[in-house]
Amino acid sequence: MMKTVCVVCVFLTLGCVGPASGGEHSLFYTYTALSKPLDLPGVYDFTALGMLDDRELDYYDSQTQVKVPKQDWMREKMPADYWEKGIQSRRSKEQWFKVNIDILIDRMGHNKTDLHVLQWRHGCVINEDSDGSIKFLRGVDEYGYDGADFLSFDVVNSRWIALVPAAEPTKRKWDEVAILNQYTKGYLEKECVDWLSKFINYGKEELRKHSPPDVFAKKSVIHPSKVTLTCMATGFYHKDVEMNIRKLRILIPEHLVTSSGIRPNGDGTYQLRKSVEITEEEKDLYDCYVSHSTFKEPIIAQLKNTQHTPHPSDPGLSGTIHLSDRGLFCVVSSEQ
């Protein structure tokens, strides 16, 4: 039997969308059903979670049986009947999962006294150009059983793909219903895209409320003549931030730079760190150059030696000054 914590936490991997770049946006719904109660805090027999990009959009579980908004703008913009219809839809899917997880356990020849997990994930990814035009990139409709890929929909050819032998009966049965495949294709390419576009527009006002992200530059000493310069940007949304370390305004090649990759902060915003080894004598020649779709102009962070703690109103300084360790401070300014 698979360990409980692994079964519960694993999510479908097929067609997983990586970090958004440029104008990419995604809308996904993930439904998770357990074959038996676990009696653990926060773990329910059935859950449904909507995600816009990487932000929670709405949520439902078998205990409350209520679909609730996870964003303020969802609560404000969507009418009451949207939530009522959503509740009925989630309850219907909950019953469908209860029936079908039992069928699947029998088909797999598994013991019903063990814990098993059935998941469904569907949604779409689009690209929004600078002029606001939308282009469909891909759609995903997939099922997983006990953390392994089970069945997925081929959007291009409008057919189901069995990823394990036990999925063959379901594939054949569903492919025989042409209207079901037509509906699935239509939802992924049209209805999902329409909802995604609507949610993006509704959420843009909130996104504009985000204060500019913080950009830091600091050093850590490796040995007397060598230091590591680290640049960090945090609090930005969306994830399409560009960060470069420069020497005399010339970009340092990426193969010389260590990156943390873009990581979530837990509040819907993101952070990114990059670092490079430099000499102590040349540290003042380097800066951190950060640009983002929400910036009016790039932000530049530099290391400066100082004998006092400067005030943001000091002549020649603009932006925010962040104290850092080892007696250095970071000057955040706009490049002229």
Give yes or no for a contact between 321 and 308, defined as CB atoms under 8 angstroms apart.
no
DSSP per residue over 12-45, as a string?
Answer: --TT------TTEEEEEEEEEEESS----TT--S
Give yes or no for a contact between 6 and 148, defined as CB atoms under 8 angstroms apart.
no
The closest alpha carbon to 243, from 293, 207, 290, belongs to: 290
The crossing angle, in degrees rounded to 10, of helices 178-186 and 168-175 is 90
pLDDT score of 11? 39
pLDDT score of 297? 85
Which pLDDT band holds residue 210 (cuts at 50, 70, 90)? low
| Mean per-residue pLDDT, 167-186 | 95
Give yes or no for a contact between 273 and 312, defined as CB atoms under 8 angstroms apart.
no
CA–CA dist 83, 60 (Å, integer): 11
Q: What angle do CA 70, 72, 73 make, to 5 degrees?
A: 110
pLDDT score of 269? 78
Q: What angle do CA 221, 226, 228 make, to 5 degrees?
A: 55
Locate the domains of the chain by residue range: 4-207, 214-333
Cβ neighbours, 10 Å, residue 155: 18
Architecture of the domain defined by 4-207? 2-Layer Sandwich (3.30)
pLDDT score of 202? 86
**pLDDT above 90 (res 309):** no
Give yes or no for a contact between 145 and 170, defined as CB atoms under 8 angstroms apart.
no
CA torsion, points 155, 157, 158, 162, in degrees to nearest 10? Answer: -90
Q: Which residue has the higher pLDDT, 24 or 31?
A: 31
**pLDDT above 90 (res 323):** no
- Upstream peptide bond of 238 is cis (omega within 30 degrees of 0): yes
> Which residue intervals of 247-319 are DSSP H helices?
none
pLDDT score of 313? 28
Q: Is 137 helix (H, G, I), strand (E, B) or coil?
A: strand
The two structure tokens encoding residue 252:
């340092």
pLDDT score of 209? 62
CA–CA dist 133, 153 (Å, integer): 26
Given the structure tokens 């945090």, which residue do they identify? 234
The closest alpha carbon to 37, from 116, 108, 100, 135, belongs to: 116
Highest mean predicted confidence (pLDDT) among 34-43, 79-88, 279-288: 79-88
Q: Which residue has the higher pLDDT, 16 or 115?
A: 115
Residue-wise pLDDT for 251-277, tens only, equals 999 999 999 999 888 776 789 999 999
pLDDT score of 104? 94
Given the structure tokens 């990581």, which residue do they identify? 263
pTM of the model: 0.67
Which pLDDT band holds residue 325 (cuts at 50, 70, 90)? very low
Residue-wise pLDDT for 73-97, tens only, equals 899 999 999 999 999 999 999 999 9
Residue-wise pLDDT for 118-150, tens only, equals 999 999 999 988 777 899 999 999 999 999 999
pLDDT score of 53? 85
Given the structure tokens 């000054």, which residue do they identify? 321
Task: Using CB atoms within 10 Å of the CB of residue 93, give its burial: 0 to 12 exposed, 13 to 18 middle, 19+ buried.
Answer: middle
Q: Is 78 helix (H, G, I), strand (E, B) or coil?
A: coil
pLDDT score of 308? 28
Which pLDDT band holds residue 320 (cuts at 50, 70, 90)? very low
Q: What angle do CA 240, 243, 245 make, to 5 degrees?
A: 170
Which pLDDT band holds residue 198 (cuts at 50, 70, 90)? very high
Written as one letter, the residue type at 87 is: I
**pLDDT above 60 (res 329):** no
What percent of the chain is predicted at pLDDT more than 90?
A: 58
Give the CATH number of domain 214-333; options: 2.30.110.10, 3.30.70.2190, 2.60.40.10, 3.30.230.10: 2.60.40.10
Helix (H) / strand (E) element for 245: namely strand 242-247
Q: Is 142 helix (H, G, I), strand (E, B) or coil?
A: strand
Q: How many CA atoms lie within 13 A of 12 on its CB side?
A: 26
